[in-house]
Structure 1
Amino acid sequence: MVEDDPGQRSGKLWGGRFESGPSPELEALSRSPREYFDLVRDDVAGSTAHLGELERVGLIDADLRRRIAETLEQMVADHEAGALQPLPSDEDVHGYLERVLVERLGPEAGAIRAGRSRNDQAANNLRLYLRRTIPRLTALVGELVEALVDRSEDTAGVVAPGFTHLQTAQPILFGHQLLAHAWAVRRDMTRLVHAWEASGLSPLGSAALAGSTLHADQEAMAADLGYRGMVPNSIDAVSSRDHVVDFLYAAAMLGTDVSRLCEELCMWASKQFGWVRLHDGYSTGSSIMPQKKNPDIAELSRGRTGRLHANLIGMLSALKSLAFAYNRDLADDKHYTFDSVETLELVLPALTGMIRTLEFDAEEMRRQAIDGFSLATEVADWLAEGGMPFSEAHDVTGRLVLFCEARGVGLEDLGPADLAEVDERLTPDVLERLTLESAVARRDGLNGTAPEVLVSQQTRLRAELGEVVARFDVNTAGTERAAS
């Protein structure tokens, strides 16, 4: 005689066909990590919508539906208050909640399992999690962009050297450099919105893989959860995780853009650059060198990018060559997602605070802006405007730089006689171009570094920020949806 499986009473949703319980090794490997139980709210939301479908097909009546829904909502409150916690025997969040539900309402509450599977539940839970988490992350990214825009306004008129190959290239407004990072991070907001939209179809009703026999209005069930529709194929619904990859890619790309900003912050704060001074509240010291003030936020944020990259590669690796139906390999989708969310929730506010509290040394930036013959292109452009082929103008300017190097002077130190000694076509008129203000002001194309262009970029960025943030609103139930 086969004994009743104790797992049925201890948070496992299977066991009737097994003569013995799972080995300790299997239990240890199979049990969800503790953080996976944080999906309680999402699992209950899916269960509540599922109850509507069970009532529509006549499997439960309105009274039982109401009592189960009210009990589930109380369980969410108890869990989030710490009054209800999973037992070691609870295999996953689904078994945990069903165990407690049956304990509180009795065996009739077990009707909730009809017509669904942990496969579509798991797929649904992470979609709902992304739907409620991405808007919050997008707002944090928006705060970083806003900080960069604000600081670009604070440094209006500050000229700094621009670099290519990390070598002095041309003078730019420092705000132009800040806005370059702002635009890059702004695009990451669009990637997050795309990931939110990619998670906007419901997998519920797919059951294990073939679909449920108990369905009357799956679209109503999807609408109850804020989805815009159904995943068309039940196998695809339970086994695809490209929406998760979309989010992990957005997070990884955001980390990359943040890391590049952090690298520059570390350089700017160094004695060799001396462009910025760190606020005491957003830097640390050395245990042995009393004079040190270290840009730890930038360094830690730069380092955490590796985790964001690893999470993306991990999810892609789990999907590679995976047979197209549900497999337990997919359970790691939550690990990668949760870790990326936690990483961004730590990094973004800290980095935003660091940027908002920086002090800038405008004089030092300006002093360095003219070093390294940064105005050489102005000479070549001036010659080309006078009719000289640019290839020849480039050569003449190069010889002018060699002349300066041999004498230990800068282009801005030259006089008419010096110019004529290099090439008689270099008349004194070119000297008007050899100022930082002229070099910056002349780059007034639609995306240049001229002051008026910077103002238009700032205005446009603020407008786009408002559009992205307004795309989401938060209702009183704490779930997010696209604003109409």
Structure 2
Amino acid sequence: MSKLWGGRFTQTAEQWVDEFGASISFDQQLVKEDITGSIAHVTMLSKCGILAEEEAETIKKGLETLLAKAENNELDFKVEYEDIHLNIEKMLTDEVGAVGGKLHTARSRNDQVATDIHLYMKKEVTSIIEQLNRLQSVLVQLAEKHVETIFPGYTHLQRAQPISFGHHLLAYFWMFERDKERLSESLKRINVSPLGAGALSGTTFPIDRELTAKLLDFGAVYKNSLDAVSDRDFLIEFCSNASMIMMHLSRFCEELILWSSQEFQFVEISDKYATGSSMMPQKKNPDMAELIRGKTGRVYGSLMTLLTVMKGLPLAYNKDMQEDKEPVFDSVKTLKGSLAIFTGMMEEITVNKDKMEKAVSQDFSNATELADYLVNKGIPFREAHEIVGKLVLRCIENHIYLLDLPMNIYKEASSCFEEDVYDFLHPYKVVERRNSLGGTGFSAVQAAIEEAKKRI
């Protein structure tokens, strides 16, 4: 069978070669974007007098028929037509006759595929921002319930200072807020129309690129035809942003996995998001959290794939660029799936408040507070640090904690210690006092929650 572009060829490839070069197996995901872009293109051709109004109307109705069939998954794509563009063009000519071939006037597959992927990314990035909003809402609701839940904060995965569990949750809220900002800013570069750039040099036809941009709700047009068909920066930027979001999800998943272990018991993941063991009947495994953590590497891989594909390409379009779609499609699917699972998991998580509060009563996370107590009495911090360090060592040697030390031991360490030190060292009081801006004090956390609500 001759190709739609096969006029100058005297031989045809074998089927397995066609299959290797075809992209229809994956770029059929762009069917709605491809047809929508074509409707805008033919509308412009008519308004500019390049196509007769009657011809344009026939083509437009044919495209609308195909769009309706696409909505119902009724289109049959074929490898011999290579990609989404030629498949739709063949279906269109079958639908409306030879006039369908006029659709490709003043257009190349190069600017067509670029338009499709811009439309696709605009839709998907907007959807991902909405998903992040939903996740943030869940985190804020959970944080509001646990403003005064005392939780051990860590550095180096060692107990550091007691904090509000709500404060810990809000740390992720702000990570996801930055992710939203990055995605929103990227829309400025996604929301640009390459349609009308042609293969690489524009066209001799009197087209109106601003009109097609307006019809497709693009905010601007590419200023250079070479750049329009060669640019995949916006896809690389998306994969970078997606990698950042997955990294944040992975960090949170790592904590949930630790917290749900027998050693921590700080949280329990819902049975809906856990699995059992085929051998050990007692097991409850945090598989969904582990899968998200694992799928993070998959998204990182997509970013590296795109960077590698693009790094040595001369202008303008090269067939290598066909390899841009699968990594992007996979990243979108993986990211959206991970966000949906993670949001559901956090909606149904059980927080073991008593376990958290017990943990901070059996450690030395209030040691910094004891140093601050001495600083408030006029002792330089470095001296206070040494005094408290020696008291901690004494506690360790005697298998007790700072709140268990008798007053005479405190007095031996420094005459500045008074009976109020015990109240000062209570974990609840330790957290309650830390109300510096962005701190873990209850008032500061409540203020942060109100600020967070405004961002959603």
TM-score band by shorter chain is over 0.9
Q: Say which SS state the counterpart of residue 45 (structure 1) adopts.
A: helix
Q: Match of 2:33?
A: 42
CA distance in 1, matches of 2:411, 2:447: 41
Q: 1:135 is matched with which residue?
A: 126
Question: What residue in structure 1 maps to residue 387 of structure 2?
Answer: 396
**Residue 53 of structure 1, CA deviation:** 2.7
- Decide which of 204, 216, 219 is 1:213's aligned counterpart: 204
Indicate if the aligned counterparts of 1:79 and 1:85 stay in contact, CA closer than 8 A: no
Q: Distance in 2 between matches of 1:403 and 1:57?
A: 88
Identify the residue that residue 2 of structure 2 maps to in structure 1.
Answer: 7
Q: Determine the structure 1 residue equivalent to 2:368.
A: 377
1:345 shift after superposition: 2.2
1:143, distance to aligned residue in structure 2 (A): 1.3
Compute the displacement of 1:139 (Å).
Answer: 1.1
2:53 and 2:23 map into 1 onto residues whose CA distance is: 33
Aligned to 1:93: 84
1:309-344: CA deviation from partner (whole Å, max 9, x where unpaired): 111111111111211211111112211111011112
Residue 254 of structure 1, aligned match among 245, 249, 256 = 245
> Counterparts of 1:400-415 in structure 2 under 5 Å?
400-415=391-406
Task: Provide the residue aligned with 2:229 in structure 1.
Answer: 238
TM-score by structure 1 length? 0.92
Aligned position for 1:284: 275
RMSD over aligned CA atoms reads 1.3
Partner deviation per Cα, 1:108-144 (whole Å, 9 max, x = no partner): 2211111110100011100000111111111112111
Match of 2:325 in 1: 334
CA distance in 1, matches of 2:349, 2:128: 23
Looking at structure 2, the residues matched to 26 and 236 of structure 1 have their Cα atoms a distance apart, in angstroms, of 30
Q: Report the 3-state secondary structure (helix = DSSP H, G, I; strand = E; otherwise coil) of the residue aligned with 2:206.
A: coil
Distance 1:127 1:408 in 2: 64
Alignment map for 1:2-401 (pairs within 5 Å): 6-8=1-3, 13-401=4-392
1:186-210 CA-to-partner distances (Å, cap 9, x unmatched) read 2111122122221111001110001
Contact 1:198–1:246 (CA under 8 A) maintained in structure 2: no
CA contact (8 A) 1:171 1:370 kept: no
What is the CA distance between 1:460 and its match in structure 2?
A: 1.4
User: Match of 2:363, SS?
Assistant: helix
Instruction: Tell me the alpha carbon deviations over residues 423-446 of structure 1, each in whole angstroms, 9 at most, x when there is no partner.
Output: 333343433311112210111011
Give yes or no for contact 1:195–1:244 (8 Å, CA) kept in 2. no
Residues 24 and 84, structure 2, Cα contact 8 Å, conserved in 1: no
User: Matches of 2:272 and 2:179 in 1, distance apart?
Assistant: 27
SS in 2 for 1:16: helix
Contact kept, 8 Å, 1:194 with 1:246, in 2: the verdict is: no
Q: Look up the SS of the partner of 1:168 in the other structure.
A: strand
Amino acid at match of 1:107: A
Give 1:80 shift: 3.0
Determine the C-alpha separation between the residues in 2 that align with 1:215 and 1:411. Answer: 82
Q: Which amino acid aligns with 1:84?
A: L
Residue 82 of structure 1 aligns to a residue whose secondary structure is coil
Kindly state the Cα deviation for residue 24 of structure 1 after the two structures are TM-superposed.
Answer: 2.9
Q: Which runs of 5+ in 1 are unaligned?
A: 1-5, 466-484
Amino acid at match of 1:251: A
Letter in 2 for 1:162: G
Kept after mapping to 2: 8 A contact 1:68/1:105? yes
The amino acid of 2:114's aligned partner reads: A
1:372 CA drift (Å): 2.6
Contact 1:259 1:301 in 2 (8 A): yes
**Percentage of matched positions with identical amino acids:** 38
Find the counterpart in structure 1 of residue 437 from structure 2: 446
Q: 2:316 is matched by which residue type in structure 1? A: A
Question: 1:445 & 1:360 partners in 2: Cα distance?
Answer: 26
- Per the TM alignment, residue 33 of structure 1 is displaced from its structure 2 partner at its CA by 4.4
The 8 Å contact of residues 266 and 352 in structure 2, kept in 1 or not, is answered as: yes
For each residue in 1:233-270, what CA deviation from the matched residue of structure 2 results, as whole angstroms up to 9, or x when unmatched? 11000001111111111111000000000000001100
User: Shift in Å at residue 23 of structure 1?
Assistant: 3.0
The 1-side partners of 2:81 and 2:447 are apart by 57
User: Quick check: 2:375–2:384 contact (8 Å CA) kept in 1?
Assistant: yes
The secondary structure found in structure 2 opposite 1:172 is strand
Q: Tell me the secondary structure at the aligned position of residue 89 of structure 1.
A: helix
Q: State the shift of 1:38 in Å.
A: 1.7
Contact 2:59-2:99 at 8 Å conserved across structures: no
Q: Which residue of 2 aligns with 1:430?
A: 421
Structure 2: tracts of 5 or more residues without a match: none
Equivalents in 2 of 1:203, 1:309: separation in Å? 27
Aligned positions, number: 456
2:336 and 2:420 map into 1 onto residues whose CA distance is 55
How much does 1:28 deviate? Answer: 1.8
SS of the residue corresponding to residue 7 of structure 1 reads coil
Q: CA deviation at 1:104?
A: 1.3
1-structure distance, mates of 2:106, 2:355? 69
The structural deviation recorded for 1:163 is: 0.2
